[in-house]
């Protein structure tokens, strides 16, 4: 069972990334961390979000074109959405009203679908995919 956490563009600050990784590592095994840049936002987000057209402006403003994907295990006694809410609560005063700087898959099945979307080679809307550790300017 896998889970996908995504740190959205608004959370892409060194100290926030380090804090979120620290929090996740306390409860989950991090299997991979990947920095993703997205060129064709409309194509990507309309596939990723069910009601993209209704919330286009908010989705693009929140997500912009860069995120960090964190792939973890899912221990039997853990719910990744509870950890996501805990992290959001920590940043709510900086990013009101929801502190919405992180996404978590709703289930291992959703994680698989989201990963397939992120790594689909037939979609030409990713640029400069590389691991977090190899990037110089985050």
**For 44-78, what is each residue's pLDDT tens digit?**
666 666 777 787 777 666 555 678 899 999 999 99
Euclidean distance between CA atoms 15 and 22, whole angstroms: 11
Distance from C-alpha of 71 to C-alpha of 82, rounded to nearest angstrom: 16
Distance CA 25, CA 11 (A): 17
Is 113 strand, coil or helix?
helix
| Predicted pLDDT at 94 | 81
Cβ contact 129:36 at 8 Å: yes
**99, 89 in Cβ contact below 8 A?**
yes
pLDDT digits (tens, 9 = 90+) for 70-127: 999 999 999 999 999 999 999 998 888 788 889 898 889 888 888 877 766 454 433 3
Confidence check: pLDDT of 32 > 90: yes
Share of the chain above pLDDT 70, in %: 71
* Count of C-beta atoms within a 10 Å radius of residue 12: 16
Residue 132 scores a pLDDT above 50: no
**Pick from 33, 29, 23, 41: which is nearest to 1 by CA?**
29
């Amino acid at each position: 069972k896998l889970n996908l956490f995504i740190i959205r563009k608004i959370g892409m600050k060194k100290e926030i990334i380090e804090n979120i990784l620290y929090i996740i590592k306390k409860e989950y095994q991090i299997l991979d961390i990947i920095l993703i840049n997205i060129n064709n936002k409309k194509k990507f987000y309309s596939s990723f979000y069910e009601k993209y057209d209704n919330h286009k402006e908010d989705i693009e403003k929140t997500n912009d074109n860069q995120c960090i994907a964190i792939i973890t295990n899912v221990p039997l006694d853990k719910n990744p959405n509870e950890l996501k809410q805990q992290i959001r609560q920590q940043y709510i005063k900086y990013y009101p009203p929801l502190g919405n700087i992180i996404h978590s898959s709703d289930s291992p099945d959703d994680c698989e679908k989201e990963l397939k979307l992120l790594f689909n080679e037939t979609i030409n809307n990713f640029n400069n995919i590389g691991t977090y550790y190899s990037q110089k300017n985050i």
